[in-house]
Amino acid sequence: MKTRIRQAMYGLGGLSVLLVAAPALAQVDPQRNLERIVAERSAFPSGTRVLSVQLQDERAVVELSPDAVAQGLGDEQADEMTRELVAGLDFFSEIREVEILVDGKPLWTYLPASSEPPAAQARSLAAAQPPVDALSLELQGKKIALHPSHGSYWNNTTRRWVRAQRTLTGPNAKTGIPAGWTGSTYTPSDEYFWNRGFQWGSIYEDDITVHVMRFMKEYLESSGAQVFLTRELSDDAGLYDHDHFGYPNTAFPLPKKQVAAKYYLEENGVPRWVWDEPSLSAQSDKDIRARPYYANYVGADLSISLHTNAFGEGAARGTETYWYTAKYPHLQESSKRFAAALNDGAVKSIREYFDDSYGRQAYVNPYPALGVPEWPYYAPYPSPFDYGGYSRWNDRGVKTSNLGEIREAQMPAALIELAFHDSWKWYPDNLFLQDPIFQATSAWGMYEGVCRYFGITPKPRLASKLVAGKVPTLVGPNQVLNASVTFQNEGMTWNWGHRQVNGVYAPYTVWQLRVLEGQTELSAPESISIDEADILHPGDTKTFDVPLVSPSASGLYPLRLTMTKADARGGDFGEEFSALVRVDADAPAISVLSPQPEVYPYGTQRIEFSAEDVWSGVAELTATLDGAPVSSGEEVSGLMPGEHTLVVSAKDGLGNATTFTRTFTVVNSPGMVMGGGWAKLARKKATFGVGVMMIPGTFQPVGHFTFQDHDLGLTLHSAQLQAFGLSGNTATLSGTCTVNHEPGHRFRLELTEGSTGKGGAIRLVLDTGYRLDAPLEGGNVTLLSLEGAYSAAR
C-alpha cells in the first residue's frame, strides 16, 4: 500500500504522534487526529468532516460527513480514504477492526455496484488441474489466485501511463552532507545516516511484490495447487503492446510485468466483465475490481493480495494482514482464519527462518541524537527483547477494513502488507525487502500459512534429494580428481540475495554444498556455493563439481557431502552423498623365479618373472638381461662366464611403476667332454670330434673341436675355447674358430650324452647363421664331471 503520512500530520503540540511517549498516549484524542488527516489529505473530498470516532475493544467506527460521497466514489479513492484513517489509528495498537460509515452505512455501499457477469461466465466450478511437474501433492485440488500489488495503469485524464510512486527510501533535500562525501546523493538527509555512511536507492513496491509472488507461485505449484495470476511475473515477457489495446502515449517503456491486473487479464483473453467493470470509469478503479473478479471467475479457493506498506519517514515496521467480508458475511469466519494463518506464517518464517544479522549490524548504537521515539513506538531493532533468540520482526497482527480487492472476493481473501518499504530510518524493513533471500523466505511463510489454513502439513522447508553422484573410486596418488554430485531441491528456493554491509549492498548466498568428510584427506573445499545466477525452486536440481586431490598414501578415504543453509537459521539438511575413494599409490609386486642370485655353470639359463597388482592390475611388464630385451619363459644360451644383470620393470593401470634387479654369476664348471660321431643330413652327414677339459683351478678350458658339414662343404677347425660348462647330461662350450679358412668366427656347441653311452645329440650355432640341431646317428659322447674340484672352485 502507499499510505504516505508525514509526521506533521499527526502532530500534537509540535511533537509528532509517532514520537509520543507512552504516558502521553492516553491523552491523545483519536477524533482530533483523524480530523487533521481528513483536512490535509487529498484522498478526502473537500468539506469532509469526521463526525465521530467510537473505540470499543478491538473495533473502531469512524463516521464521516456526507461530503465524503457527495461527488461520487470510486474504489481507489475509497481504498485511499480507508488507508489514511487506519493509519491514523495505528498508535492504538489494540485496534484490529476499522469500519467507516457515512449516514450510518458502510463506505463501500456508496461504490458503484458490481455488474452481474453472464450466467455462463459466473464462478467456475471446474476442478483444479495440478501442474504436471508438481513435486508433491499437498495442495492438489486447490485453486489459488495471486495478486501482486498495483501495477501501472492508464490515467484517463492525463492520457498517460502512471506507475505507482516509488518508495520513500530517502528522497529528502540534501542537507548536512559530510565534507568530502562522494557517495550517492539520493540518500536520507538525516545527519545520523549521512554520518553512518548509509546509501539507499529507490525501489518500487510493484517490483518487490512481483519477485515475492514468483517464489509463492513456485511453492504452491510444487505442492500441486493450480495458481492463477493477475500480473505478469516474468522478466522476459517483453513489452506491453499499449497501442494495440488502445492505450497510446506511454511515457516510458512498459514491460508486461509492470502493467496492472486489468491489462494483463485483457491481454490474456479473460472475459471483458472481469477487467472492465462498466459501472466504473477510472482505470485504477476497474483494476482494483479486476483482481477479485478474476479470482471469482476461475473459482479460486483462496485469494491472496500482496503489498508492501508505507507510513511516512520510516517510522513503522513489520507485517500486517487484512480481511473484509461485509459484502459476503458468510465468509467472515473462514476469511479471518485464513488471514491469521497467512500472517502468522509470514511472521514466523521471517523470525525463525531468515537470518537478520546484517540488519542487526546496520541498526546498532549510537542512535540518532534527536527525535528518537520512546518504547513502544520505537525500540532499537535487536533489543530490548529478542523473541526468544529469533529476529525481532514486528507482528502488527490481523486487521479488517474496507479494501476493494478483498471486499469483492467470493472466497476467503486476505491482503498482506509484508513489510514497510519506507522503513529505512530506524528499522531494516527496507533493507530486507530488497534481499531475494528475504523474499523467498517470507513467501515460504505464506505458503505454510496456506497449507495450515487447509489443515495440511506443508513440505519440509529444508529438504533435498540425492539424484546422482560421481566420484572416481580407484585413483593414483596426488591426482587432481573431478567429482560431481546432483541434489534436487525439495524445500524453499535456493538462490542468491543482497545484503547491506557498511552501507553497500553486496551479493551473498546461504545455500551451499557442504563437505562433511574429505576436506583433510582428499583436499576437498569446506563448502561450494550455488552459482550466483541460480534460482532453484522446489523440484529443480543442482549439480556441483567438487575438486579433489588424492593423498600420497595408499588407503580407503571417505567422502561425504550434503546440502546446508549456512546461516544462523539453517544448518545441514536432506540426503547425504557418500563414497569411498581408494588410492593405490603402490607399484606392482615383481617376482623373479629364475635366475636366483646364485652361481650358475656355463650353459643355458631359463628366465622366469611375473608381477601382481591387486587393485589396479599390471599394465606393463618388461625385462632386460644385460641390457637386451628378454621375455619371461625364455631360455638364454651362451651367457659368458661372469656377472649378469636381469632388470624387470612393471607399471600398473594408474601409472605406479617399479623395477626389480637380479644379479647372478655364470662360471666355467670343471669337467671334460670327449667323443666324436656323425649326424645325418639331407644328403650326406656331418661329422665332429671333440676333446675338451676344464681343469679345476684354471679359468679357461683346453682341448680341441673340429666339425664338417659334408652337404655344404663347411669345415670348422682351430677352435680357441673360452667357456665350458656341464649341466646334467649336457656339455656346453664356446669360443672362436676358423670356418672354411676364415678365422675369428664365434661358435657355441652343446653335446648331449646318450643314456647308454651311445647316441646323444649335437647342437651347433655359428655367428654366420649356420645352425645344426640333430641326434647322433653314430659315435658317442662322454661327459665327466669333476665334482670335488668344481665344489672347491666355488
Q: Which tens digit of pLDDT belongs to each residue from 168-178?
A: 444 333 445 55
Distance of CA 478 to the CA centre of its chain: 27
pLDDT band of residue 23 (cuts 50, 70, 90) is very low
Q: Which of 377-391, 586-600, 603-617 has the least mean pLDDT?
A: 377-391
Burial of 243 (0-12, 13-18, 19+ CB in 10 A): exposed
Residue-level pLDDT at 696: 87
**pLDDT at residue 754, rounded to an integer:** 83
Mean pLDDT is lowest, of 301-305, 455-459, 600-604, 675-679, for 600-604
d(Cα 21, Cα 506) in Å, to the nearest integer? Answer: 37
Cα–Cα distance between 649 and 639 in angstroms, integer?
Answer: 22
Average the pLDDT over 763-773 and give the result: 95
User: 31 vs 17, 26, 153, 272, 607, CA distance in Å?
Assistant: 13, 13, 34, 43, 114
pLDDT at 134 over 70: yes
- 147 versus 190: the higher-pLDDT residue is 147
Write down the mean pLDDT value for the chain.
86
State yes or no: pLDDT of 363 exceeds 70: no
pLDDT at 202: 55
Looking at residue 563, its pLDDT comes to: 98
Quick one: pLDDT band at residue 742, thresholds 50, 70, 90? very high
pLDDT digits (tens, 9 = 90+) for 695-724: 988 889 999 999 999 999 999 999 999 999
**Over the stretch 516-554, which tens digit does the pLDDT of each residue have?**
999 999 999 999 999 999 999 999 999 999 999 999 999
pLDDT of residue 719: 94
Q: Is 259 within 8 Å of 231 (Cβ atoms)?
A: yes
Q: Is 44 exposed, middle or buried (0-12, 13-18, 19+ CB in 10 A)?
A: buried
Query: What is residue 364's predicted lDDT score, i.e. its pLDDT?
Result: 53
The answer to which of 209-213, 319-323, 361-365, 662-666 has the lowest mean pLDDT is 361-365
DSSP reduced 3-state for 648: strand
What does the alpha-carbon distance between residue 154 and residue 492 come to, in Å, rounded to a whole number?
A: 37
pTM of the predicted protein model: 0.79
In the numeric block, which cell numbers belong to residue 270?
479473460
What residues are paired with 222 via a beta bridge?
none
Q: What is the tens place of the pLDDT at every residue in 227-271?
A: 999 999 999 999 999 888 888 876 677 899 999 999 999 999 999
Give the cell for residue 377: 513506538
Give the pLDDT band of residue 588 (cuts 50, 70, 90): very high
Residue that the C-alpha cell 543482497 belongs to: 498
> What would the DSSP string read from start to end of 550-563?
--SS-EEEEEEEEE
- Helices 436-453 & 205-222, crossing angle to 10 degrees? 50
Look up cell 502468522; give the residue. 344
The tens digit of pLDDT for each residue in 61-73 reads 999 999 999 888 9
* Partner residues linked to 643 by β-bridges: 665
Of 139, 121, 415, 140, whose CA–CA distance to 296 is shortest? 121
pLDDT at 426 over 90: no
- What pLDDT band is residue 310 in, cutting at 50, 70 and 90? confident
**Higher-confidence residue: 207 or 422?**
207
Cell of 32: 482530533
Rounded CA-CA distance 391/378 in Å is 16
Q: Which strand (E) or helix (H) includes residue 352?
A: helix 332-353
Quick one: pLDDT at residue 386? Answer: 47
Q: What is the DSSP letter of 604?
A: E
Spatial neighbors of 459 by CB under 8 A, at least 6 apart, are: 135, 136, 138, 222, 223, 490, 491, 538
For 63-106, the pLDDT digits (tens) are 999 999 988 899 999 999 999 999 888 878 788 999 999 999 99
Give the pLDDT confidence score for residue 476 in this predicted structure: 95
Instruction: Say whether 610 sits in a helix, a strand or coil.
Output: strand
Task: Using alpha carbons only, give the angle 317, 322, 323 rounded to the nearest 5 degrees.
Answer: 170
Q: Give the pLDDT of residue 381.
A: 55
Angle at 763 between CA 759 and CA 769, to 5 degrees: 155
**Which residue in this structure is represented by grid cell 457477469?**
117
Range in 360-369, 500-509, 567-576 with the lowest mean pLDDT: 360-369
How sure is the predictor about 294, in pLDDT bands with cuts at 50, 70 and 90? very high
Would you place residue 788 in the very low, low, confident or very high pLDDT band (cuts 50, 70, 90)?
A: low
CA dist., res. 361 & res. 380, Å (int): 11
Average pLDDT over residues 396-401: 94
**CA pair distance 189, 174, nearest whole angstrom:** 5
Burial class of residue 695 in the structure, from the number of CB atoms within 10 Å of its CB (0-12 exposed, 13-18 middle, 19+ buried): middle
Coil, strand or helix: which one is 100? strand
